[in-house]
Amino acid sequence: MTARTASALATMLSLLVVGAASAGTGPTSDHQTKAAARSAIQVTGREFRITLSRRTVKPGKLRVEFVNFGEDDHDLAISRKGTAYTRTMREIRPKERDVMTMTVRRGTYVFWCTLPKHKALGMRSTLRVRR
C-alpha cells in the first residue's frame, strides 16, 4: 500500500467516525440554532469598506469569519472601545477567508483594516455587544 493510498483511507475512516458520532445527536432545536447564530458573525472586506453580517450580538464566545471580497489584500483588527483590548487577524488575499473565536463583553467593538490608509478610506465598522 502506498503512502498516498494509506492517507486517503485514513481520511475516509475519520470522516466515517465523525459521521457516525454525530448521527445519534438528533435534530437541532430552534434554541440551539438561534444560539449558534447569535455567536457568529461574518465580516466582509472590500475596497474600501467593512460590512458586518449583524450589528449586535450577545456577550460570550463569538466566532468571527473574515472574508476578503476585494481586489487587494486586507487584514482585520478588532478593538473594544475604552480598553486596550485588541485582536488581529492575518492579512488575507482576495477570495480568502480566516476564522477566529473570541470572547466579547458588553460594549462597542471597532473593526478596521490596519493596512496604510484603509481605515481612513472607510474600512471600519462597529459591533455592539449587549444582553
CA angle centred on 72, ends 71 and 76, rounded to 5°: 120
User: Is 3 in the same domain as 63?
Assistant: no
Asked if 75 and 88 count as a contact pair (C-beta separation under 8 A), the reply is: yes
Give CA–CA dist 31/6, Å, rounded.
41
Q: 110-123: per-residue pLDDT in tens?
A: 999 999 999 999 99
User: Is 64 in the same domain as 23?
Assistant: no
Handedness of CA 12, 13, 16, 17 (dihedral sign): negative
User: Is 49 in the same domain as 12?
Assistant: no
User: Is 17 in the same domain as 48?
Assistant: no
Q: How many domains does the chain have?
A: 2
Torsion angles phi and psi, residue 97, rounded to 5: -145, 155
The whole domain housing 9 covers 1-29
In this predicted structure, what is the pLDDT of residue 35?
52
User: Is 17 in the same domain as 52?
Assistant: no
3 within domain boundaries? yes
First-to-final CA distance of the chain = 56
Mean pLDDT in residue range 59-70: 97
